[in-house]
Structure 1
Amino acid sequence: MAKTTTRKPPIRKKTSKKTNSFFSAKFFIISISFLLIVTAVFHYRNAILYYFSFKSDKIYKEDKMAQARIFQVLKNHQDKVVGFDVSQFQGNINWKEIDSVEHLVPLQFVFIRATAGNDKVDSKFKENWKNAKEHNFIRGAYHYYRPNENSLEQANNFIKTVKLQKGDFPPVLDIEQLPKNQSIDSLKVGLKRFLKKIDEHYKVKPIIYSGEKYYTSFLKEEFSEYTFWVANYNFWVEDIKDDWLFWQFSEKASIEGITEKVDLNIYNGTPKMLLYLTVE
C-alpha cells in the first residue's frame, strides 16, 4: 500500500511594514506630481496652445513655458500698463520696430540703465535715452547700486549722467547685492544718503528697485516712504501685489527690434495714473 505524502503549504514571504510604507509614499508623491502637472497644464491651456501651436517657429522654441507664463500674466492684467527695461546688454536696439509684446499688448514705458557704482556709465545709455524719447516711450533712468562703494560718489555719478525732462519717470535706485565689507545697517545708511542726494537734486522722490526677497527682508519697512519696483519671476506668481508700484515679472521676453531677451514690467495702475507719476 502506497504511502500518502502530505504536502507542506508554500512558505509565504512576509512583506515588511517598511516596504509597504515605502511604496505608499512613492505612490503618493507620483500622484501629487501628476496632479500638479495636470493642474498647471489646465491652468495655462490657452497660453500653451498659443505658444506651442502658433509660435513654434519663433526664437523662444527652447523656452516655451516661460513664454506661456508671460502670456498668462499679461492676460491677467489687461487693465494695466506694460513696459520693458534695457541696458547695454541688449546691444543695438532698433527702436522703430518696438511697439508691443507679440502684437498683443502695447509697450508704453521703458526703464534704461544709466550708471553703476561710482564711475560706470552704461555704454548705451545716451543712445537709448534719446531714442526712447523720440519714439514716444515714457522713460526712466536707473542706477545700479554697488554696496561696497561710496554712496554719495554713486549719486554724483548718476546726477552727472542723467538730465531729466518733463514727462520722465523719477530716478530709480537698483539695489540687488548684499554688502561684503559692511553690515546691513551700514548699507541702509548708504542707501539713505544716496536717496536723499538724488531727491535734493531732482526735487522728486526716487523709486527703489529690488528683488522681492530683498524687498521683504529689510527694504519694505525701513524705506516705507518710497515706492517700489519689485522683481519676481516665480512661475506660479501671476498677479501684481498691492504694494508694488511696478512689477518686473519676466526676464525672458522677446520683443521685435531687440535681439536679446528683455525684462517685462507692469505698472500697478491705469495709463492716466502713470502720467501722474512722471516729472512735471
Structure 2
Amino acid sequence: MQEVGKFCSPQCLIHVLKQCMRPFLTVVTLLFLVAACRDVSPSVAGNRAMLQPGFTGLDLSHHNGRIDWEAFEAAPVDFLYLKATEGTDWKDPRFQDHWREAKARGWLVGAYHFYRLCRAGEAQAGNFIQSVEVRAGGLPPAVDLEYAHNCEPRGSMSETLAELDVFLERVEAEYGQRPVIYTTPEFHRDWLSDGYADYPLWLRGLGEVMPRTRDGRAPDIWQYTMSGRVPGIESRVDMNRVPDRPPE
C-alpha cells in the first residue's frame, strides 16, 4: 500500500514527550522513539510502525472498572486498545471516557469491536463506526474474533466469513486503515488459516512462549497474560507486547 506521507503525528510526539518524562528513559531510547516516528503514515505499514518492538500495551473495557487515570500514568505502558462495541447494537459504557482520558494523556490509542459470529457484518460495522470517530494519528481499528462468549455462527463457514469480510472492508474504507485481527490460535486455525494474511495479527498466547499460527506466522501484537497488574486499575488486566521482528 502506498504511503501517504512521512511525518510524526501529534499523538506520536506527545507519546515521545511522555516517554521522555519517565525517569528511567535514556537519551538513546528517546532518539530511537523520535526516529521511529519519522516514518509514521496513515498506511497499514505506517501504523504498524507506530508500535515499535518492545512496546507494551493493555486492552481495556468496562470489565476493568473505574480507572484512576492520575495513578495509571505511572504504568509502564506504551499503548492502549479500548473496547468500543460488540455485535450490532451494544456499546461499551466506559469507552468514551476511556478514549478521552487516554488521548488527553498522550497514549497511543486504538478501539476494538467484539465480533458476533451470528450477526450481520454490515450492521456490526455500522455500530462500531457510529461509536468511534475517524481521527488521524490513531492506531488501526481492531476486531476481536474468538469462541469465548460468542454465539453460533451465522450460516455456513463461507457465509459467516463473507459477513466478516463485509465488516472488515467497511471499517477499512471508513478509517483508511486495515483492521487488526485479534484472535486465538484455535480460532485462527479453524476460521482464518486460509486467508487474512494481509491483516495485522494480534494473537493470544498466555505464558512465556510467543504463539504462532499453524503456518508459522508470528503475531504483530502478542497478548501474553490476562492477569497483569498496573497502578490505577484494581482489576487484573490483559497485557500485550510488540515482539521483536527478525531481520528481513
Partner of 2:121: 151
8 Å CA contact 1:81, 1:269 repeated in 2 = no
Per-residue CA deviations over 1:7-38 (Å, capped at 9, x if unaligned) read xxxxxxxxxxxxxxxxxxxxxxxxxxxxxxxx
Partner of 1:191: 164
Count residues with an aligned counterpart. Answer: 187
Moved over 6 A (4+): none
Separation (CA, whole Å) in 2 of partners of 1:224 and 1:181: 23
Deviation at 1:225, TM superposition (A): 1.5
Per-residue CA deviations over 1:233-278 (Å, capped at 9, x if unaligned) read 1x4x4236562010111000111100111000001359xxxxxxxx
- Taking every aligned residue pair, what percent have the same amino acid on both sides? 28
Q: What secondary structure, in the 3-state scheme, does the structure 1 residue paired with 2:193 have? A: helix
Q: Which deviates more from structure 2 when the two are superposed, residues 247-256 or residues 213-222?
A: 213-222
Separation (CA, whole Å) in 1 of partners of 2:232 and 2:196: 37
Write the letter of the residue equivalent to 2:83.
R
* Bigger proportion of residues as helix: 1
Write the letter of the residue equivalent to 2:164.
L
1:112-261 superposed matches below 5 A: 112-177=82-147, 179-233=152-206, 235=207, 237-239=208-210, 241=212, 243-261=218-236
Given the two structures, how large is their TM-score scaled by the length of structure 1?
0.62
Unaligned runs of 5+ in 1: 1-78, 271-280
Per-residue CA deviations over 1:164-217 (Å, capped at 9, x if unaligned) read 322211110111136345222221111111000111111111111111211233
Separation (CA, whole Å) in 1 of partners of 2:155 and 2:129: 25
Separation (CA, whole Å) in 2 of partners of 1:150 and 1:239: 33
Write the letter of the residue equivalent to 1:227.
P
1:77-92 superposed matches below 5 A: 80-92=54-66
Separation (CA, whole Å) in 1 of partners of 2:88 and 2:175: 18
Write the letter of the residue equivalent to 1:183.
S
Separation (CA, whole Å) in 2 of partners of 1:116 and 1:162: 13
